[in-house]
Amino acid sequence: MIDRARIAAYSLRAMTRPDPLYHVLFVCTGNTCRSPMAVAALRQALGSDADRVAISSAGTSAWDGQPAARFAIETAQRSGAVLENHRSRRLTPEMAGEADLIVVMEPAHRAALATLGIADDRVHVLSEWPEPGEPTLEISDPFGQSAEAYEECWRRIGRHVERLAVVVREACRSRSA
């Protein structure tokens, strides 16, 4: 479970930067499915507070410039989110270094960040904000699967992101206090 004191500590670190925004970075594998959907879901969950947060995404094995997967675009669109303009980015140490909070989709992504020298308490698996009874620590990659797999992925991401949004709002309030 997430430690709210650690989130507050991220805010203290971020306050030393001239940038007033709180930075959240979502990480998956190809940056065409899960992490772009998570960005869209967090923007929706934050509502008017989204303008206080810089939300971005990257992939551990991404090819720069790829569009979001068609089913990811269609799934997000049905919920009022827009992914048409998304272009994939390969994760770099600089991206990770700018983030106040790094949210990965599965434990393997945490390990990939460690190989970049990012193995600190800013890194969390999205499912650390669990739904009671959820059995797995990862958000499965729907890449190459059916539209239904993308729908299920969107629902799972959304449930976790709703809880994450509470934590992000608290961090933003801590920064502005």
Q: Which of 28, 33, 153, 172 is labelled catalytic?
A: 28
Q: Active site includes 110?
A: no
106 contact partners, CB below 8 Å, separation of at least 6: 28, 125, 137, 138, 139
**Residue 88 · residue 52 · CB < 8 Å:** no
d(CA 87, CA 100): 22
Q: Active site includes 141?
A: yes
Q: Active site includes 34?
A: yes
Describe the chain by its helix, strand, coil percentages, rounded to 5: 50, 15, 35
Structure tokens at 66: 């790829």
User: For residue 8, with 0-12 CB atoms within 10 Å meaning exposed, 13-18 middle and 19 or more buried, which class applies?
Assistant: middle
Q: Which of 90, 141, 159, 163 is labelled catalytic?
A: 141
Question: For residue 75, which amino acid is it?
Answer: T
Q: Which of 34, 43, 110, 156 is labelled catalytic?
A: 34
Catalytic residues: 28, 34, 141
